[in-house]
Amino acid sequence: MSFRLLQNTALRARTTTATISVRTSGRIRLCPMSTSAPQYEYILTSKPAEGVALITLNRPKALNALSSPLFLELNKALTGFDEDEDIGAVVITGSERAFAAGADIKEMKDKTYSEVYQTRFLENWSDLTKLRKPIIAAVSGYALGGGCELALMCDIILASPTAVFGQPEINLGVIPGGGGTQRLARTIGKSRTMELVLTGRNFSAVEAESWGVVSRVVGEGEGKVVEEAVKMAAVIASKGRLAVQAGKEAVNDAYETTMKEGLKAERRLFHGLFATSDQKEGVSF
C-alpha cells in the first residue's frame, strides 16, 4: 500500500469514521477509526493493522521540521498509544521526501541562553524513550539533526534506500542537543561519531545499515518502508505484551548499563515472566 494512500486516509479520519487498510501476507486488513480520536495540527494518527498505531509527522512545507508544538503533539499521541491496551507497537514516519529535516530553526534563532536553560529546551524530546511499547521509525528521505535524533530514540529503525542521516548542527554554530552525540557514539563508536558531529557530513542508508544505525534497508518503492514497518509492528503486537515489554527493557539495559547490571536485570525479568499466563501457555505442548 502506498504511503500517500495511508496519509490521505489518515486525513479523512480526522473528521469522519474511516478505515485504514494495509497489505499483510497478501491480504488487506481493515481497521475502523474512531471519530473520538484526538485532533492534531502537526501529526496524523491511524491504526493501519491490528495492534499497530501509525504516527505521521505532518509539516510538509517545512520538511517536517521538529518544532516544540509538534513534539508536544507527538508525545501526547505516543503516551495515549502506550496506555491503549489494543496497541502493541507504534510506527513513526514522515513523508517520502523527509522523515524530519531537523529542528525548527525559525523557532530557535531568537532564543537566548537563559531562556533555553530555564525552560529546559528540547528536554521533553526524550520522553518517548520512557514508553513501554516498542517504537519503530520508518525513515524515507532526510533525517537530519533533530530528525536523526528522533529516529535514534526509537527502538528499531527501518530505512528506505533514499534515507539520508546526519547531524549537521556544526554548520549552524551549535552541536546536537537532542541526544545525537550520545546515542550515535554508543551505536557507531567515538571516531565515526566525532567525524559526523565535527564535519556535519551526512551518511546514506547503506552506511547506516553497515554501521548498525538501522535494522535494515527495505526495497525500493513509495511507501515501502512504512509497509514493512507496519508488518514488523504487527508481528511484535501479536506476541505476549509482557514479554515484549520485558524484552525491550532488557535490551535497553544492555545499551545503558554495565554487563553485570544488565545480566542481573535480564535474569530478574526472565524469572518474572514465569508468573505470567503467556509463559504457561507458551511452554505447554
**Any catalytic annotation for residue 115?**
no
Show the 3-state SS of 13-64: CCCCCCEEEEEECCEEEEEECCCCCCCCCCEEEEEEECCEEEEEECCHHHCC
**Any catalytic annotation for residue 85?**
no
Strand-pair partners of 28:
23
Q: Which of 100, 103, 229, 234 is catalytic?
A: 103
Q: Rounded to whole angstroms, how far apart are CA atoms 145 and 122?
A: 13
Q: Which three cell numbers stand for residue 133?
A: 511499547
Q: Rounded to whole angstroms, how far apart are CA atoms 144 and 55?
A: 19
Q: Which of 73, 96, 149, 228 is catalytic?
A: 149
Q: Which of 141, 145, 146, 147 is catalytic?
A: 146
**Any catalytic annotation for residue 178?**
no
Strand-pair partners of 202:
166
Q: Rounded to whole angstroms, how far apart are CA atoms 165 and 140?
A: 10
Q: Which of 73, 96, 169, 228 is catalytic?
A: 169
**Any catalytic annotation for residue 256?**
no
Q: Which residues are catalytic?
A: 103, 146, 149, 169
